[in-house]
Structure 1
Amino acid sequence: MSNIKKEGKFKYLEEGEGKVLLLLHGLFGALSNWEAVVNRFAGKYKVVIPMLPIYDLPVRETGLTKLTEFCEGFIDHKGYDQFDIMGNSLGGHVALMYALKHPEKTDRMILTGSSGLFENAMGGSYPKRGNYSYIEEKVRYTFYDPNTATRAYIDEIFETTNDIPKCLRIIAMAKSAQRNNLAEELHKIENETLLIWGLNDTITPPSVGHDFNRLIKNSTLRFIDECCHAPMMEQPEKYNEILDEFLNQTVPV
């Protein structure tokens, strides 16, 4: 996952050839979160993962609107059209906001543990700077099997939350996600949509998956057991099977 390309202000990973499958990571997401998806689908698709500038925006502008504008700029820069879009957590929220603004450009949509309706915030005091055991507990809380969170992954998040400017942006982005509730907008979405949800999700519980399924007319909801907020990391084989089935059964534009 080291083939990072840089063009102007954009950094992104691109693997494979074919129809574009654009992946959007979450608040603490890393490109490595999608490794199993890239390995499985780069043989049939051009899998693209832009690095979202969560920590690079001015604090006062840090929010979903600016992230969506960044994605618009990246997609226009690359000239993508009729692409499939997939997002986890905050990335799903950005995917929804982009699809609502640009229905003519997006084809199929895949959401997993997406914010946009309800998310259980990490707690009012989060993130507690400098408290490793607290951060470790919160990170492990996002996985069904706490050991899925490697020491390196916890270390990375600890370093991020210990950086005051980054910490301020995390808080601003989380508040923006809660403010940008899309319940009144989702009926406008016509895209064929797959919802892949962890049955044990503690951040966006299964009821949230059901709500998305009810509000997005052309949506299919699939649950993965023994799985929390990042199914593509926790249960990569099951996740990829469900995704492959959806991409094969739905007719791309």
Structure 2
Amino acid sequence: MATVSVNGVDVAYDESGRGPALLLLHAGIADRRMWDDVTPMLAERFRVVAPDLRGFGETPVPDGPFVYAADAAALLESLGIEHAHVVGVSLGGHVALDLALAHPDLVDRLVLVGAGIDGWQHDPALVAAWDEEAAAFERGDLDEVAWINVRTWLDGPTRGEDVVPKALRRRVFEMQRAALEHENPAAEGGWLTPSRRESLGEVTRPTLVLVGALDQRGFRQIARLLAEEIPGAELIELPAVAHLPPLEHPEAFARTLLQFLPAA
């Protein structure tokens, strides 16, 4: 693990491999450790950089306004990287999209995995899970908050708690539980672009959209929207996984990336 100071925060990151730069942006239920099983396969062809976003893993979230994509751009600059392929999952996908729209010169190819988007109206069942999570947070039951997130995002809407391996569920729980310790209401996150959803037609980088076949329905719908609205984008639905494909099937996920990303 290394750290670099960008925009007033010490960002923790892992780096390995040599070749074209590849920036990996984790999901909001995880941290940079979600890439541990994927990175060795990618590092055979790429210089892989996997940071903890603010408020996740070993990166704090100080008081005041911040922008995830601005941190990502500053991280690349600090590491002397002029441009990189960018892969983002969920929140990380939304950040990657923001970065590609605001700084297309920094992005070679873009991979959006179960990415979020602004202005989306989600299903009542998912909204109910968020309400349950908020209630647990209000009563101070942070363990339950983390387990709600495991059930919502790792298990997904169609699988029971006994389907996903217990070790993987515990791994995701621990990443989410650590993030909850960083919660800071005085930190105000923002975006580089006014609306990613309204700007999809302006994405100029070659884009691959990935989504798990067992993901929440709204995120499968968002994936179709991204593929339809981003010029030339390709959509692949990944079988037998929900919202976190790099954790569930790392080998298959890495193969899919390697087929899309040129090594030089």
Whether the 8 Å CA contact 1:12–1:48 is kept in 2: the answer is yes
Whether the 8 Å CA contact 1:20–1:45 is kept in 2: the answer is yes
Identity %: 23
CA RMSD of aligned residues (A): 2.8
Q: Secondary structure at the match of 1:92?
A: helix
Is 2:53 the partner of 1:46? no
**1:23 & 1:159 partners in 2: Cα distance?**
19
Q: TM-score, normalised by structure 1?
A: 0.82
Deviation at 1:10, TM superposition (A): 3.2
Paired amino acid for 1:110: V
Whether the 8 Å CA contact 2:26–2:88 is kept in 1: the answer is yes
Is 2:68 the partner of 1:67? yes
**1:51 & 1:159 partners in 2: Cα distance?**
12
Whether the 8 Å CA contact 1:13–1:50 is kept in 2: the answer is yes
Deviation at 1:112, TM superposition (A): 0.3
Structure 2: 5+ residue runs without aligned partners? 156-162
Structure 1: 5+ residue runs without aligned partners? none
Partner of residue 153, structure 1: 172
Q: Secondary structure at the match of 1:22?
A: strand
Relative to 1, partners in 2 of residues 1:138 and 1:11: Cα closer, same or farther, differing over 3 Å?
closer
Superposition map of 1:159-178 within 5 A: 160-161=179-180, 163=181, 166=183, 168=185
**1:107 & 1:211 partners in 2: Cα distance?**
21
**1:71 & 1:159 partners in 2: Cα distance?**
21
Relative to 1, partners in 2 of residues 1:33 and 1:245: Cα closer, same or farther, differing over 3 Å?
same
Q: Secondary structure at the match of 1:166?
A: coil
**2:205 & 2:86 partners in 1: Cα distance?**
10
Whether the 8 Å CA contact 1:116–1:182 is kept in 2: the answer is yes
**2:141 & 2:184 partners in 1: Cα distance?**
11
Relative to 1, partners in 2 of residues 1:87 and 1:155: Cα closer, same or farther, differing over 3 Å?
closer
Is 2:96 the partner of 1:95? yes
Paired amino acid for 1:57: V
Relative to 1, partners in 2 of residues 1:11 and 1:58: Cα closer, same or farther, differing over 3 Å?
closer
Superposition map of 1:1-253 within 5 A: 4-8=1-5, 9-54=10-55, 56-61=60-65, 66-117=67-118, 118=120, 120=126, 122-127=129-134, 128=136, 129-130=140-141, 132-133=143-144, 135-144=146-155, 145-147=163-165, 149-158=168-177, 160-161=179-180, 163=181, 166=183, 168=185, 181-202=195-216, 204-248=218-262
Could you say which structure has the greater relative contact order, defined with CA pairs below 8 angstroms and 6 or more residues apart?
2
Deviation at 1:193, TM superposition (A): 0.6
Deviation at 1:114, TM superposition (A): 0.7
Whether the 8 Å CA contact 2:30–2:175 is kept in 1: the answer is no
Length, aligned pairs only:
238
**1:151 & 1:105 partners in 2: Cα distance?**
35
Deviation at 1:234, TM superposition (A): 1.1
